[in-house]
Every structure is written in C-alpha cells, then in structure tokens.
C-alpha cells in the first residue's frame, strides 16, 4: 500500500525480546525455558477449586459483569477528553437503584451457554495445569490453528495461524488494537450511518459515502451484521465499500461478531472474501457472541501480515496475553462446531432459530403498547421508534439539551421497570437529533425474562387505555 500503515505511536516499540527468544527456543530441540516468568507446576489446590467452582456454579459468571470506575480526583490524560462517559455504566447504575427493573439494555444472554462450551471450560480448568499459565502472546496455538482453518474456508484464503490471526480481549480489544496500530491523530475513519426507519430498506447512499473518502482517509469502519440496527449489508453494498477502499487505498476494519446470528434467510458476507479485499481488511470476531459466553472476553482479528504485524506491536506492548483457559475452551468449542457445521446439530443452526423466536416475541410485546420496532435481520438487538410517545410526552424530566431518547429511557426505568439503551448514544453529538426517537432492546434473553417484560408491558398497556 502507498500509505504508511502503522500509527506513529508504534515507532521504536515494534520489537519484543520475549517473542523473539521464545520463537528461537521453539525452533530448537530440547530447549529448557527459563526465560519466561511463569511457574511450570500446578497452582495451589484452593485456587484451582475456586476456579472450578466459578465455572460449574452460577452460569451468569460466563457473562459480562459490572464495570464501575471511581477516582478521588481527575487524573486522566487529554486523550480521554470526550470519551469518559459510558451510557452502559450510567443506565445499569440507574436500573440497579430501582426495584424490579428488567435489563434489556446490555447485550448478554441471561441463560446458560451451550453445554459443550461449559464442558470445554470445565475441562480447561480441571485438565492440564499448565493452562493456568501464559500461552503464546498472540494466541493459544490450538485456538489460532482452528480459527485459521475454520475462517479460511469462508474467506477463501490460506490463513497462517502465526501471521494472520491475533487473539484479543474480546472484539472490543480487537477494535482498540486496530485503531491504536493504524490510526494517527488527523487520520480519517468513516463509519457507516443512516436514518434507521427499517433494517430491510436502510441502504448506503453511494454518493454520500463516496464524499466521505478523502486523501486523509486511513480506514473505513464497517459493522455487519450491524449493531444497533440489525442490518445485514448486501453484496452490492459491500462491493461499493470495497471499490472505494481500493480506489482510495484505505484499510477496512470490519466488526462481524454477529455473523452467525442472521434471521429470515438473510446471508452474511465477509467483505474480506471479495476480490482484492483480503490484503486491506481486518476481520474481527468474538467468542462471546459466537458461543453465548460474553464474560470469557475472547476475540480475534484475521488479516494479512502487512497489517497484522502492527496490531501485534500494540498487543505485545499492552495486553500481551489473554486468559489461556478461556482460549482453550473456545478452541475446543470451535473444534466441536467444525464437526457439526451445516447440520441440524450445529449450534450455528440451532441458536439463530431460538433467538429468532425471542426476537418475534419481543416485537409483538413492544407493539402492544404502541412502540414501533424495526425488525432486525440479525444480531442481539432491535431498535424501536418512540416518536408517538415523543409527541404525547414531549416534556420528560431532564436537561434541556439532553436527547429525548435518553430522557425516555430514564423515565421508563423509573416508571415502567424496563431498561433499554438510547440510540443517540451511538452517534456523534451533531447527529444525535436525528436519532433521539429510537431506543435499543436486547432480545437474547430467557423465556422467563421475556415473560417478565410481557407483564410490565401489559400493565403499561392498561394504563394507556382511556
């Protein structure tokens, strides 16, 4: 590529002596590793038992937990200005302060992961004691190998587990690593946007999209299937993006964590599989969304070595390692899925069918009180139009400049016992006024949770009747 790929912040830190000498030792026979700082014996029995209890006990320990941060005084660097607020922390905290609030805001299942994934984790904890220690910095070898094999077929590439795969702390970690590796201050990274009246007819405008590419454009951020809209981008739209990326020498960073959760016969296509795109695309995935284990925080990036080497530089100078046992469990889960793929017994066949029923249940329930859900083609989420309520209740409590959807969600948490996420939080401040009449619900929930929603909505419906 003509443009400089790596961000300037990587200058001088691309060499890692640990990676160099561990690789050198692995190439020789019968070398005893006294260089890396980890024990090669089992941890204390009480620690192993505590981990086993966490794995086999409360199944919700497989999902996200809370993330609150408190500091005695302002200490953050200037680079944090404008990004210190998290709507998830804010609204989860608000919901926790009210009695009997049902959480449809956060994107995690509240039911047990598939049995084979839980068993894989239990095996990782109770089996080889060396899984309690460091593994290879860029990924547990059985995991990078199965990711290369599994996704190589979909992308039409011979993927090298050592050069084309990086295991990260969730997909969030993958995105962060990619941005830190490739994007400098002053570089531009367009993100697709639009007016989400329907996920089926929401389309990229070719003229507007082309206008966003300039000489300073470094990367294009793609999310398909899309969160929060639930749109699956068509081949024609992806070909448009691919053409612009190639024309302007731009890297495509594509978040595809919902690729297996596609409904109604729609088909996910990875942009990296299109002609000429593998060499300029980073494809991001997540075990959390793939196997319903969001708390394991295992993600990955797939891409050409010319890009991946810069991500490895960031990774080795920041995270360096991801949890070995979680990686081992994900590897075993993919190995199981590879045997069943395309068959009725495949989790990638069964789970979307179940989740589509959850989606349809939620759509009907929300419609019963006058909310207007946008039917998603994929993902964990749907957004719903609250315009009718905005017309009827325009003066909800809140700051004068606070978007209506934020005030509506706060009102709904406090008065209706239901938590969602305002869609305006997903867009920049200048565009929030176009999105302040939508809120997002997660429908990947247990039947009992959906029934609890039904009860609250029926009570709400009765209150609306004259």
Which whole number is the average pLDDT over 239-255? 97
Do the first three CATH levels of 85-107+347-464 and 137-340 match, i.e. the same topology?
A: no
Looking at residue 199, what is its pLDDT? 53
**Model confidence band, residue 43 (pLDDT cutoffs 50, 70, 90):** confident
CA distance 271 to 281: 8
CA distance 228 to 196: 10
Task: Give the per-residue SS3 of the chain.
Answer: CCCCCCCHHHCCCCCCHHHHHHHHHHCCCCCCCCCCCCCCCCCCHHHHHHHHHHHHCCHHHHCCCCCCCCCCCCCCCHHHCCCCCCHHHHHHHHHHCCCCCEECCCCCCCCCCCHHHHHHHHHHHHCCHHHHCCCCCCCCHHHHHHHHHHHHHHHCCCCCCCCCEEEECHHHHHHHHHHHHHCCCCCECCECCCCCCCCCCCCCCHHHHHHCCCCCECEEEEECCCCCCCCCCCHHHHHHHHHHHHHCCCEEEEECCCCCCECCCCCCCCHHHCCCCHHHEEEEEEHHHHHCCHHHCCEEEECCHHHHHHHHHHHHCCCCCCCHHHHHHHHHHHHHHHHHCCCCCCHHHHHHHHHHHHHHHHHHHHHCCCCEEECCCECCEEEEECHHHHHHCCCCCCCCCCCHHHHHHHHHHHHHCEECEEHHHHCCHHHHHHCCCEEEEECCCCHHHHHHHHHHHHHHHHHHCC
Looking at residue 391, what is its pLDDT? 86
Looking at residue 16, what is its pLDDT? 76
Looking at residue 84, what is its pLDDT? 78
**Biggest alpha carbon distance in the chain?**
82
Residue 253 has pLDDT above 60, yes or no: yes
Please give the model's pTM, rounded to 2 decimal places.
0.85
Residue 70 has pLDDT above 60, yes or no: no
Question: Cβ distance 334 to 147 under 8 Å?
Answer: yes
Q: Which CATH number fits domain 85-107+347-464: 1.20.1600.10, 3.40.50.620, 3.90.1150.10, 3.90.79.10?
A: 3.90.1150.10
* Strand ranges across the sheet with 438-442: 372-374, 381-385, 438-442, 421-422
Residue 21 has pLDDT above 60, yes or no: yes
Residue 11 has pLDDT above 90, yes or no: no
φ and ψ of 161, to 5 deg: -60, -25
Residue 71 has pLDDT above 60, yes or no: no
Residues whose CB is less than 8 angstroms from the CB of residue 274 and which lie 6 or more positions away in sequence, other chains included: 238, 239, 242
Which whole number is the average pLDDT over 199-219? 85
Q: Which position has the token pair 């007016």?
A: 195
Identify which has the larger pLDDT, 460 or 277: 277
CATH number of 137-340: 3.40.640.10
For the chain, domain boundaries? 85-107+347-464, 137-340
Residue 58 has pLDDT above 60, yes or no: yes
């Amino acid at each position: 590529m003509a443009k400089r790929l790596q961000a300037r912040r990587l200058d001088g830190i691309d060499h890692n002596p640990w990676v160099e000498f561990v690789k050198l030792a692995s190439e020789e026979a019968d070398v005893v590793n006294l260089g890396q700082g980890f024990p090669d014996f089992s941890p204390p029995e009480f620690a192993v038992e505590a981990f086993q209890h966490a794995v086999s006990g409360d199944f919700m320990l497989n999902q996200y937990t809370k993330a609150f941060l408190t500091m005695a005084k302002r200490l953050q660097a200037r680079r944090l200005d404008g990004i210190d607020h998290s709507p998830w922390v804010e609204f989860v905290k608000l919901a926790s302060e009210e009695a009997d609030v049902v959480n449809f805001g956060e994107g995690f299942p509240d039911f047990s992961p598939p049995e084979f994934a839980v068993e894989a984790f239990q095996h990782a904890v109770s089996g080889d004691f060396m899984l309690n220690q460091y593994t290879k910095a860029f990924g547990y070898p059985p995991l990078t190998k199965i990711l290369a094999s599994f996704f190589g077929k979909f992308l039409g590439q011979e993927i090298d587990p050592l050069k084309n795969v990086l295991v990260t702390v969730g997909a969030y970690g993958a995105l962060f690593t990619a941005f830190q590796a490739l994007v400098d201050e002053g570089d531009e990274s367009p993100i697709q946007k639009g007016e989400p009246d329907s996920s089926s007819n929401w389309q990229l405008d070719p003229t507007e999209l082309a206008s966003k590419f300039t000489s300073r454009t470094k990367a294009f951020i793609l999310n398909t299937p899309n969160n929060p809209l639930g749109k699956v981008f068509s081949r024609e739209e992806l070909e448009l993006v691919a053409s612009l990326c190639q024309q302007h020498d731009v890297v495509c960073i594509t978040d595809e964590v919902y690729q297996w959760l596609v409904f109604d016969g729609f088909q996910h296509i990875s942009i990296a599989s299109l002609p000429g795109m593998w060499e300029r695309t980073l494809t991001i995935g997540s075990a959390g969304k793939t196997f319903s284990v969001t708390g394991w925080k295992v993600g990955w990036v797939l891409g050409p070595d010319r890009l991946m080497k810069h991500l490895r530089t960031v990774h080795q100078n920041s995270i360096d390692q991801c949890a070995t046992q979680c990686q081992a469990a994900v590897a075993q889960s993919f190995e199981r899925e590879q045997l069943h793929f395309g068959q009725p017994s495949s989790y990638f066949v069964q789970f979307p069918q179940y989740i589509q029923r959850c989606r349809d249940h939620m759509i009907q329930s929300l419609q019963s009180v006058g909310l207007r859900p946008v039917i998603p083609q994929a993902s964990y989420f749907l957004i719903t139009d609250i315009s009718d309520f905005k017309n009827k209740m325009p003066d909800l409590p809140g700051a004068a400049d606070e978007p209506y959807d934020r005030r509506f969600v706060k009102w709904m948490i406090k008065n209706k016992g239901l938590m969602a996420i305002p869609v305006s939080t997903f867009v920049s401040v200048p565009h929030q006024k176009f999105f302040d009449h939508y809120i997002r619900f997660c429908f990947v929930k247990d039947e009992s949770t959906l029934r609890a929603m039904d009860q609250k909505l029926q009570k709400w419906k009765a209150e609306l009747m004259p």
